[in-house]
Structure 1
């Protein structure tokens, strides 16, 4: 880091410690940790923690000392403004945290006057963050980098037509006003370049997610446990019922069990912090899999990384309707250097990352028959110790430090333009 840090970026991010339950927190947190290595001082404009539905304090210590953090007023409409459990949709457009806009815009203007940042940066998936970025850009004239990560809108997403219309308006305004629009998967870059052909190809940028190696270094690898014991497979993180629908996987497991190819003594599967626990529990009861598949609650980030390191194998679920998205956990899986079974479309971006890393244990998420065969083969290869791991070159390329360098270069280009 240089002796004098004169460049500053105002980072507008809903997900920031102490929020819990979203991988999005790691993106902003890691950028704020690594930008100072490139002489950029981050100023994070987040929301008051009262707005978070779930909170944990375990990552507050990971906020770098060079990071200035301001937490502006904001409420969760569903929890703070509802009467009898009901609230007007107008109070939740574009999302339940739209009141954050009321606190963040004046707070952002004060931060701009005090610290004189050279560039604004806002990050989705909370649409209000881009609304704040758009407003501050209009009021300050500062160049703006809009970190979309994934697509804001699809033909049928968000499912509510009014919400989708509002999202599309914010998306179009952001694309029109931003200097750069950043995505985490190449398919999303292509989608937006086609959707907004009036923008130059220089508008679009790819900065993937990654793993934070400094935190991995703090997590001890567990001691090896001798066989015989059940193989332990782990899926870490949210399983969206539509985008990561596990029903075909559960059907495959049930079919293998009926055929005598799978028992609770041979394999144990953990879904950690999956969300929709009641729904998934019902699916497991209907298939008689409760003793093989366990739905487990949230644990701290470091505990989750330790669980990955202790697993015999790691599971990825990603449906074909998300071919232009890549789960953030995938990069942490790569760094964990555990065998990976990916249930995803072989033509999607998730499969592309895995193949680039030398991993071919991939099967489509929507075919119970293909999954059953792939799962059997994966288990046999685990038992034999013949499942290939990720290439060291791809692991090194996927670090958050590397992604921070990419963002710093993009910010330099932005102020240069």
Structure 2
């Protein structure tokens, strides 16, 4: 059987950290088992703000990685060459430089500040694709500039191209946060239309987002969720230090994801239930907004119950999940939240600890939680539902009730790689007919 040679264009690659790197780092290690030989193309000198050197150990030994220099304008606005867009957006009081940075990002860098990597990458890759007999190109975004690379390479080489959307584009809530309007907004929509109508397959991470892209004009969509590594947490013991009722959130928690109703309910339960107050610990690890911390500390009953860590390596994050009592999952409170499934959600499933999700109670996460029996998903304003869920989870904690989610094997990354490889071979075979 012929091996399918696939070029994967991704901005995020180890030692870059965060959710964006995990998807293709993991899939690339499993794809060869199913007849797909991946080659990674990634920047040689990216200006990412999170770094995790331990992820280098998870890159498959025989994986070929091509690197090419990138010029990134936003590094000149950051600290020590690292972009600070997220921190700038969070600030209540913005100075002249902050305001200029947001305006420049929204007005000139379309679809994103990595757009300057498109042309040189195409010039570099076009002859490499031919000399290396590449059968298929996959681009993954954001940053959505990666899709422009794929589109130009498809036109130049005739090779089939798959666009993988880990987030929306024109409907992405970050554009609203940046204040993208008028001509700039139309430009985003124009480029998005070119991508979704020219790619040979559009992949995205949830059913709701696949439906959104179909409404925008995509004719060939394929849902490939994120996933988890099988057996990755088997050696971790699910014991919470000190016997605490630990609510743990791992990852970014910013103003757009601040579950105010949760802090309010926790405060009320502490007042009403002395045992709950004595047991409670709120553990937050990752990139945290000052506004989130302030909103928690605004409740006197919660002061002293908050434990904060910075960014955790991937291994440490897994241990933190496993040693939680309840895993907090907070999604964006925005118009496209229905299809938002954070990558860490699937690792939460593998950790086999109860989940309390705050987001769209009719969205894709809620449906998976219901299907697997992994916990509860409540709306941002569902105070009664959040309270009821916490009371049950605390009662189960005191009674030492066993917990075992079900039916989530299909989200193992090996299973996802097999599903993807089957679809890629279909595209290749169709191209040969």
Q: Alignment partner of 2:175: what SS?
A: coil
Determine if contact 2:259/2:358 at 8 Å carries over to the other structure: no
The DSSP-based 3-state class of the residue aligned with 1:323 is: helix
1:190 and 2:211 are equivalent in the alignment: yes
Q: Look up the match of 2:322.
A: 309
Match of residue 18 from structure 1: 15
- 1:345, distance to aligned residue in structure 2 (A): 2.8
Contact 1:143 1:415 in 2 (8 A): yes
* Structure 2 unaligned spans of 5+: 79-95
Q: Distance in 2 between matches of 1:72 and 1:16?
A: 13
Taking structure 1 as the reference length, what is the TM-score of the superposition? 0.88
**Partners of 2:271 and 2:277 within 8 A in 1:** no
Q: What are the equivalent positions in structure 2 for 1:9-408 lying under 5 Å apart?
A: 9-20=6-17, 22-80=18-76, 86=100, 88-89=104-105, 92-154=109-171, 158-159=175-176, 160-161=180-181, 163-196=184-217, 199-200=218-219, 203-213=220-230, 216=232, 220-222=235-237, 224=239, 229-242=243-256, 244-260=257-273, 265-276=278-289, 278-288=290-300, 289-318=302-331, 319=333, 321=335, 322-386=337-401, 388-391=403-406, 394-408=407-421
CA distance, structure 1, for counterparts of residue 354 and residue 13 of structure 2: 30
* Matched position secondary structure for 1:314: strand
Decide whether aligned partners of structure 1 residues 57 and 330 sit closer, same or farther in structure 2, where only a CA change above 3 A counts: same
Separation (CA, whole Å) in 2 of partners of 1:325 and 1:156: 11
RMSD over equivalenced CA pairs, Å: 2.5
Task: Tell me if the contact between 1:357 and 1:390 (Cα under 8 Å) persists in the aligned partners.
Answer: yes
Does the residue aligned with 2:117 lie in a helix, a strand or coil?
helix
What do the CA deviations read for 1:220-270 (whole angstroms, capped 9, x no partner)? 3137468x732122111222422x332121122222233345755311121
The answer on whether the counterparts of 2:9 and 2:140 sit within 8 Å (CA) in structure 1 is: yes
3-state DSSP class of the match of 2:421? helix
Q: Which protein is richer in helix relative to its size?
A: 2
Task: Please state whether the residue corresponding to 2:5 is helix, strand or coil.
Answer: strand
TM-score, normalised to structure 2's length? 0.85
Aligned to 2:87: none
Does the CA contact (< 8 Å) of 1:256 and 1:262 recur in 2? Answer: no
Q: Distance in 2 between matches of 1:376 and 1:272?
A: 24
**Contact (CA 8 Å) 1:378, 1:387: kept in 2 or not?**
no
Q: Distance in 2 between matches of 1:44 and 1:32?
A: 8
**Mapped partners of 2:303, 2:119: distance in 1:** 46
Q: Counterpart of 2:114 in 1: which secondary structure?
A: coil
Displacement, 1:210? 0.3
Task: Supply the distance in 2 between the matched residues of 1:205 and 1:225 (Cα, whole angstroms).
Answer: 39
Q: Give the drift of 1:175.
A: 0.9
Is the alpha carbon distance of 1:80 and 1:137 closer, same or farther for their aligned partners in structure 2, counting shifts above 3 Å? farther
Q: 1:233 to 1:143 in 2, by over 3 A?
A: same
